[in-house]
Chain A
Amino acid sequence: MRLLRIVPDDTNFDFIRFRRISFPISALLSIVALVAFFTMGLNFGIDFKGGTLLEVRYANNTLNIADVRSRLESLDLGEVQIQEIGGDGEVLIRVAQQPGGEQAQQVVVGKVRAALGEGVEYRRIEVVGPRVSQELLSYGIVGLMMAVVCILIYLWFRFEWQFALGASIANFHDIVLTIGFMAIFQIDFDLTSVAALLTILGYSLNDTIVIYDRIREMLRRYKKMPTEELLNASINSTLSRSVITHVTVTLALLALVLFGGRAIHSFSVTMMFGVVLVGTYTSIFIASPLLIYLGVSTRAMAEKAEKEAKSANSKAERLAP
């Protein structure tokens, strides 16, 4: 049987030179993402905004969306969003947070139930009070920052600081682009989105580290090779792995997007964008070329190694009787 080879052996693409295109593209995309974030904003779900969400189903084509709308609008509950989903008689009803504290949120479900009457299946009801939504939001933000800091510290221990910084910049770039994507397509931003962002962060780093690991290895081995050539060689030699892994992750995610159900749909779509599109691109075209600007070079490494060897020698001399 002939085995599938997506990436031929011994590729030799000049990824590093491509930075003259990829950096401006990334800068532009990041600006677009930030503009989208600040102008369109994120479509906060009830986890972060508070309020009430009901998913109801009308059996056997008895759904009359106009009727549902008029019944709910007569309740005077402030902003009410009604959205038909799935086409199976299912409706998603979102009621904005009511003024008047925790207790005020509790009447909404009762009112909606009374207004919709009999013959409705309540598939999901969620009520998040103002206090909890505030906390969840701050937990989400703190969580993201904590993850970035923890990972940074770990990288700093395991690699040189240049690598840690490079990975963090690449990371930041991933999160900015993904948040921009969520703003532009107004994807529900809730707790699962934070989970998606954290996973994207983990994945993207995973990828970056595989390449960085190789760069570090090459730096130790080829002390005379020009830096750009060394970086290119590292990326090229891990290219086959990057591509194959991304195919497998894409396959797994594709299954989740297509069959995973609506409850995790925004999660799967966000992951698809973040991991498959951004993550791979970042580790190859951003994270690795960045190292040049951060002062990683074969010469610097060689000098450092020499210095370390010297200090080790002098230490040894001092220790000698």
Chain B
Amino acid sequence: MLYFSKWKAFAILAVSAIICLMAVPSLLSQSAYDSLPSFLQRKIVLGLDLQGGSYIVLQVDAQSVRKIRLEQLRDDARRVLRDAKIGYTGLAIQGEAVEVRIRDGQDVEAALTQLRTLALPIGGAMASAGQLDTDVSRDGNTIALAPTSAGVQARTIQAVSQSIEIIRKRIDQLGTTEPSIQRQGADRIQVQVPGLQDPSRLKALLGQTAQLTFRLVDNTMSPQQALQGRAPAGTDVLTSQDNPPVPYLIEQRVLVAGEDLTDAQPGFDPTTREPVVTFRFNTNGARRFAEATQANVGRPFAIILDNHVISAPVIREPILGGSGQISGNFTVQEANDLAILLRAGALPVPLQVVEERTVGPGLGADSIRAGLIASIVGATLVALFMVATYGLFGVIANIAVAINVGMIFGLLAMLGATLTLPGIAGVVLTVGIAVDSNVLIYERIREEARAGRSAISAIDAGFTRALATILDSNITTFIAAAVLFYVGSGPVRGFAITFGIGIMTTVFTAFTLTRLMVALWVRWRRPQRVPI
């Protein structure tokens, strides 16, 4: 146990040194860090609980995914049946399916064939022989189209991916540093924005679907009459966001939608000096908007964002240039945010905030200070105690523990892991148990010496016997850390990471460094009796 070939000793020292050195980039200033070659640009990220910032979890609601799919199926069914010239009645969403009654019994088979084309394989056209996203079933003359749960699930996953892109665009506009946007599970998105103190603006930006449409206002009756239950077919009553809300009777047909915008910028109206949002359509949008305004001069049209009327100006002349402005009693910030939302595009589904944690910079700084003091005090106390108990061997143990801590940080940097306050606690605890491996070894050496072995033989036997125990006892602790990593989130996961890494480095240093240092000492001093 005490013999090391030169190569082995060198390898041990080299591995330890390299891992420790990996921690160095994390200590450098930003400019020095940026000048490093890219393979060295790996550093420990401070958790939001230490650097301050906002953590928000958004959820895609499977119910609204299903609802959107149902509406789409209803519209597609209408189109398909109309194209095939099949007569039908009562096409509507009933619970979790779209139902339609075919007028003529002879057409049912043809209708079924047509409607079956609406059921798409899950995973797109590339997936062969997969499941379909819609169940098409027949009951007499009635055909039902029901989205399957696998289909809804696939769409939810897809909606999450699309939403992540749009959220990223929206957040990038805020100009915060290094936001992180990640998928969490099947239907969630986790957003972390370091340094953000007040997430209310962020939440306002993320909480809106930002579906912009331009539609005509129906003037055939007043919105009050329509609200009393006689709304013409193909119209909705939508309200403005004023207080009290003003109702408008709006046609369902969309003239132009937000997808056709190429740009949106906040600005000021040259005459009223009011904040407005100016926008520009793409070619397709510009053409459609020009046609619509040409045909409807003198009528009001409405600009609608997420089912609320922002404004409803009257078309005074055809708008042919493909650009325009939205005014709606905005504040400067509101105009700014609306422009951001329009530039980034609409979310495919509404998102809900299900969890939010924000730490101010003051508390973060306090936590760093607390963690630092606790680490220094803890390490000093343990180190002093070890020297008092084991003398020179205590010093060896302390060196091993110091390298151990250096390696923890090096590995954290290599993994790009996040250091949280519980994570620092994990390091402090590791110092507490890392010395345990030394204690096990030293106590065993003492015992073997008492049993009458010579110094060198006692040291050798002490290592041999203690190492098996060290392995056994650390594996169980490691299992606990692994489970914690698996079930934990945020700061707790940070604890699991440092604690788990700490256990591995502890076992490593016990098997190599401590043994190497003791072996070198034995070779140098040729001890006659055990010094502990």
- Interface of A with B (CB < 8 Å)? 1, 3-6, 9-10, 55, 57, 102-103, 105-106, 109-110, 121-129, 131-132, 136, 139-140, 142-143, 146-147, 150-151, 154-155, 158, 191-192, 194-195, 198-199, 201-203, 205-207, 209-210, 213-214, 217, 237-238, 240-241, 244-245, 247-249, 251-256, 258-261, 263-264, 267-268, 271
Looking at the assembled complex, report how far the CB atom of A123 sits from the nearest CB atom of chain B, in whole angstroms.
4
Task: Check B197–A122 contact: CB distance below 8 A.
Answer: yes
Whether B381 lies near A252 (C-beta < 8 A) is yes
Q: Mark B376-402, 1 if CB is under 8 A from A, else 0.
A: 011101100110111100000000000
Q: Are A191 and B488 in contact (CB under 8 A)?
A: yes
Determine whether the beta carbon of B469 is less than 8 Å from that of A213.
yes
Which residues of A are found within 8 Å of B83, using beta-carbon distances? Answer: none
CB neighbours of A252 from chain B (8 A): 378-379, 381-382, 428-429, 431-432
Establish whether residues A206 and B433, one from each chain, have CB atoms under 8 Å apart when the complex forms. yes
Please name all residues of chain A whose beta carbon is closer than 8 Å to the beta carbon of B433 when the two chains form the complex. Answer: 203, 206, 245, 248-249
Q: Are B425 and A158 in contact (CB under 8 A)?
A: no
B99-142 contact mask (Cβ, 8 Å, vs A): 1 or 0: 00000000000000000000000000000000000000000000
Produce 1/0 per residue, B329-369, CB < 8 A to A: 00000000000000000000000111111111011001101
Shortest distance in angstroms between A303's beta carbon and chain B's nearest beta carbon? 25
Residue of A nearest to B357 (CB): A126
- Chain B nearest CB from A130 CB (Å) reads 8
Given A10, A106, A158, which contacts B353 in the complex, CB threshold below 8 Å? Answer: A106
A sample of 6 more A-B contacts (CB under 8 A), given A202-B481, A260-B421, is: A3-B389, A123-B359, A192-B491, A209-B472, A210-B440, A249-B436
B198: which A residues are within 8 A, CB to CB?
Answer: 122
**CB of A317, distance to nearest CB on chain B (Å):** 33
Q: Which residue of B370, B432, B480 contacts A260 across the interface (Cβ within 8 Å)?
A: B370
- The answer to whether B474 has its CB under 8 Å from any CB of chain A is yes
User: Could you give 27 example pairs across A and B, Cβ below 8 Å?
Assistant: A3-B388, A3-B390, A106-B207, A122-B197, A122-B360, A123-B362, A125-B356, A143-B487, A147-B483, A191-B492, A192-B422, A192-B491, A192-B492, A202-B481, A205-B480, A213-B473, A214-B469, A240-B443, A252-B379, A255-B381, A258-B374, A260-B425, A261-B367, A261-B371, A261-B374, A263-B367, A263-B421
CA distance A253 to B377 in the complex (A): 10
* B381 and A251 form a contact (CB under 8 A): yes
Residue pair A128, B355 in contact (C-beta under 8 Å): yes
Q: Do the beta carbons of B491 and A109 come within 8 Å of each other?
A: no
Q: Looking at A131, A251, A252, A254, which has the most chain B CB atoms within 10 Å of its CB?
A: A252
Q: Could you say which residues of chain A place their CB within 8 Å of the CB of B469?
A: 209-210, 213-214
Q: Is B475 an interface residue (CB 8 A)?
A: yes
Q: Verify if B496 is at the interface (C-beta below 8 Å from A).
A: yes
Q: How far is the CB of A201 from chain B (nearest CB, A)?
A: 5
Q: How far is the CA of A5 from the CA of B446 in the complex (A)?
A: 12
**Chain A hits for B488, CB < 8 A:** 139, 143, 191, 194-195
Across the interface, which residues of B come within 8 angstroms of A271, CB to CB? 429
Contacts of B481 in A (CB 8 A): 198-199, 202
CB contact between B421 and one of A6, A207, A261 (< 8 Å): that residue: A261
**Interface of B: prevailing SS:** helix
Which among B353, B468, B476, B484 has the highest number of chain A CB atoms within 10 Å?
B476
A244 and B443 within 8 A (CB): yes
Q: Does residue B248 face the partner (Cβ distance < 8 Å to A)?
A: no
Chain A residues within 8 Å of B491, by CB: 191-192
A205 touches B476 (CB 8 A): yes
User: Do residues A245 and B447 form an inter-chain contact, with CB atoms below 8 A?
Assistant: no
- Closest CB in chain A relative to B165 CB, distance in Å: 23
CA distance A209 to B391 in the complex (A): 27
Closest 3 CB pairs between A and B? Answer: A261-B370, A255-B378, A252-B432
Closest B residue to A142 using CB positions: B487
Q: Are B200 and A255 in contact (CB under 8 A)?
A: no
Contact between A248 and B435, CB atoms less than 8 A apart = yes
CA distance A254 to B378 in the complex (A): 7
Contact B367 A146 (CB under 8 A): no
Find chain A residues with CB under 8 A from B391 CB: 1, 3
Known contacts A122-B197, A123-B360: A206-B484 contact under CB 8 Å: no
In the complex, are the beta carbons of B381 and A241 less than 8 A apart?
no
Residues of A within 8 A of B82 (CB): none
With contacts A206-B477, A261-B421 known, is A129 near B446, CB below 8 A?
Answer: no
* Bound-complex Cα distance A207 to B475 (A): 12
CB closest residue in chain B, given A56? B360
Q: A143-B486, A202-B476, A255-B428 are in contact. Are A195 and B435 (CB under 8 A)?
A: no
Kindly state the separation between the CA atoms of A124 and B483 in the bound complex, as whole angstroms: 28
- Enumerate chain A residues within 8 angstroms of B479, measured Cβ to Cβ: 147, 150-151, 154, 202
Q: How far is the CA of A194 from the CA of B490 in the complex (A)?
A: 13
Instruction: Say whether B440 contacts A55, CB under 8 Å.
Output: no
Q: How far is the CA of A155 from the CA of B478 in the complex (A)?
A: 13
The one of B356, B379, B389 in contact with A244, judged by C-beta atoms closer than 8 angstroms, is B389
B59 is an interface residue with CB less than 8 A from chain A: yes
Which residue of the partner chain B has the closest CB to A201? B480
Task: Say yes or no for B532: interface residue by CB 8 A criterion.
Answer: yes
Q: Given that A154-B476, A198-B484, A252-B428 are known contacts, is A57 also in contact with B362, CB under 8 Å in the complex?
A: yes
Contact partner of A206 among B378, B473, B499, CB < 8 A?
B473
CB <8 Å contact, A146 and B363: no
What's the Cα separation between A244 and B389 when bound, in Å? Answer: 9
